[in-house]
Structure 1
């Protein structure tokens, strides 16, 4: 294949880069199936339906927090709810401003509206999907009550600098780690830099709990109990 052939787009008759469909994104296997069946077997044998805050859920939250290096975790129904719960825990006031990333899932921005706050969009850093401290600092005002920053596609933003900026202005930082499970910056897990972190655990993520799911994580006990 010569350079001329490569320069012609597939949509215009050029060669295809990929000739086979991408594999499915399912993370469900025999182990997960057995765990779900065990829940149904237990419910049938005891006559009690499983619900919220069961033993399995509590154990999962404990293991997640341990994986993150200690702290506290609470499972919720979606990544959107995880961001919302994180903002609620921060007790931010209605009609204040929350700085958010330009490239993010709608679930990373809608919780701001649900809090009756004003989303202020920080542009992406040049050449990147993520925003950075420089873009965020331009938008800080007396009305800024929180920063929700996303790590897109597993790539860490300069979260250490963003957290330092937040501390400088006394503004809490929420890390949206929905696309960055297990990713690290300088050897430190994303989600452990800010005041509180939100994760999506839906079926398409690197770590899933079912069709939909989410989890909130923090090292601060005061935020956990809120």
Structure 2
């Protein structure tokens, strides 16, 4: 099979010249670290707060660290259970290992792959101490019903918004519904400093505990004002999870352009989706009324082979042959990962009691059927190439998608004719 080559521009993150000069100035002046709370970090936190209904914002070195700080600030202890989506990136669950807490996986409740109040409720036990939800690929969870459930059972909620910069639910940005929210601002995210994360907190106390965990005394003595916590500011709580000034500057440059970036991505990805869903049996992630996609961390479509006449693997192969960087989404169900399937090395390292390992770390492939079946149907397009206003890659991709689908239709028609 010959493969068509489509020239691709630089993959996100992309920075303009003025920002790279600003970073170079920081390096030249030796300001590659910040123990205190310098202008670069204050600016990032203030702008993040302003975009999210003035929640308390704390910049850290990764989204994983933001989640760790969120769980720690809630007082999650060894043996506590936290309800976690089965369909999410592993970092939604893995910080709980460091606290000796138990991630209790919950099946998807929507075709988006997100959890619902019903799937969370089904995994509730007397040991449940918190809920975390992931706005998967940037698609908001049904936060109204989830928050009603959380209030009913008196549990705090953490939103993992790492895929969802600029996504909204009923006109409000994701990250303002739960008690805490974690954003990744690293890697390929729409707002990226290369490495970084943001923790948003409703309550000042959670913000200050997270500061004690993630910073040394210089920042803590500036930020921590609670009389019951301030006495710890001279030592802190043992973490060193600070963001760098360079990362803060880079991420701020994207944050300032967030509405523009969200609109460009919506316009570009929508055109790709329109080309794909023109074929019966190919559908997009369901966006019900009141939800908007922002980050589009993955641009995902689902294939129903009974309707489409071809499989997910057929579509991936056909798209790749036309030069499209299509693949299976890397973010997949956690229950098929080694640590959740009874891996003996993981069991020895994590040191959970045998009863806990047997109940929550020995899943089989069929234990979360909807999460598995959804992931088995999904095809991901490289959304990180579609953040530009011009959409330079859109038309080549649309033509490639049309060629791939046309070839699959011909092949399907030929198979049917042969059977007859």
Q: Distance in 1 between matches of 2:29 and 2:53?
A: 32
Deviations 1:43-70 (A, max 9, x none): 3xxxx76423322112211111011121
What is the distance in 2 between the residues matched to 1:187 and 1:136? 24
What are structure 2's unaligned runs of at least 5 residues? Answer: 210-420
2:180 is aligned with 1:193: no
- Determine which of 156, 178, 191 is the counterpart of 2:162: 178
Q: Aligned residue for 1:89? A: 73
- SS of residue in 1 equivalent to 2:112: coil
- 1:129-144 equivalences in 2 (<5 Å): 129-144=113-128
SS in 2 for 1:175: strand
Secondary structure of the corresponding residue to residue 40 of structure 2: helix
- Offset at residue 207 of structure 1 (A): 0.5
Rounded to whole Å, the distance in 2 between the matches of 1:19 and 1:155 is 31
CA contact (8 A) 1:27 1:208 kept: no
Alignment RMSD (CA, Å): 1.9
Contact 2:81 2:130 in 1 (8 A): yes
Mapping of 1:19-168 within 5 angstroms? 20=6, 23=9, 24-43=11-30, 50-52=33-35, 53-168=37-152
TM-score (norm 2): 0.47
- Point out where structure 1 has 5 or more consecutive residues left out of the alignment: 1-12
Say which one has the larger Rg. 2
Secondary structure in 2 matching 1:65: helix
1:152 is displaced (CA, Å) by: 0.8
Structure-2 residue corresponding to 1:218: 201
Aligned pair count reads: 207
Displacement of 1:32 in angstroms is 2.2
Whether contact under 8 Å (2:136, 2:164) holds in the other structure is yes
Please state which structure has a larger fraction of its residues in strand. Answer: 1
Moved more, 29-38 or 64-73: 29-38
Question: Quick one: structure 1 residues 94 and 185, their matched pair in 2 at CA, closer, same or farther if it must change by over 3 Å?
Answer: same
1:165 match: secondary structure: helix
Secondary structure of the 1:112 match is helix
Q: Do the aligned residues in 1 keep the contact of 2:110 with 2:116 (CA within 8 Å)? A: no
Q: Deviations over 1:159-185 (max 9, x none)?
A: 221122111111100000000011000
CA contact 2:26–2:32 (8 Å) conserved in 1? no
Give the TM-score normalised by the residue count of structure 1: 0.85
Q: Distance in 2 between matches of 1:153 and 1:63?
A: 23
User: Which of the pair is proportionally richer in helix?
Assistant: 2
Inter-partner Cα distance in structure 2 for 1:148 and 1:97: 11
SS at match of 1:119: strand
